[in-house]
Structure 1
């Protein structure tokens, strides 16, 4: 929202009118929910509103304007509700490290697979290098000195 280049001391409200699926996709992207969390959400009813309000720490939350019962009714899991409550006072940026469904936990095998790929690549490179060296030695042994020197060697 900083792209609007407005004075931060001025209040700013956005109203997004949308279909249920689109609003769920928006919330999923905004709060970085997983596909499983997204699929558990219920579409809002006709004319139903959902308010994201700016918390004290500078992050948006559904838990400021809505009750825990409303969030449960919408399909938010207990972890998602706890995250929304935490965002009320969380400082922007802190939640990335504390939220368990972010990159590090979501792709916990990534570091190991990188090491495996690096190891496989190093082994393959070493094998190719050895093969090239062996071919060079074999070629020089197969060729006699006259062929290699083209009659120029003494």
Structure 2
């Protein structure tokens, strides 16, 4: 069998670039005005190792070890859940979409809060047990929540538009 290989070890000619944790870190570095040496100091790696891991060209990147992953997440004030969400949700996305940082914070907050609230609901409802909860119920819950979110954000957008219009008239 041998040792595991990493896709990032081989030079690739793939025209499709994936967006994942490393790309997110590069976006944050640009946004926060950090350079490689600044990030290296924050995470405790050499500048060379930091540059090799976070190389702007994906085919030249080296793999990120788990302890380095955790150190980078801590340096950028990312919870383990947020770091995992960046890696899982945005890998293969092709590029950074607008507001990735806000989206990650939102999703992590939703998951954490929902986890706590769902435990309480199951405990409060006498006849309901965790064995009764199915994956399909998640789709139903998402449909309900998304309908409420759309209504709330539509109202928010209307109020924002009025506020901006009123501000422009003064």
TM-score (norm: length of structure 2) = 0.30
Q: Which has the larger radius of gyration?
A: 1
TM-score between the two structures when normalised by the length of structure 1: 0.32
Q: Report the structure, 1 or 2, having the larger helix content.
A: 2
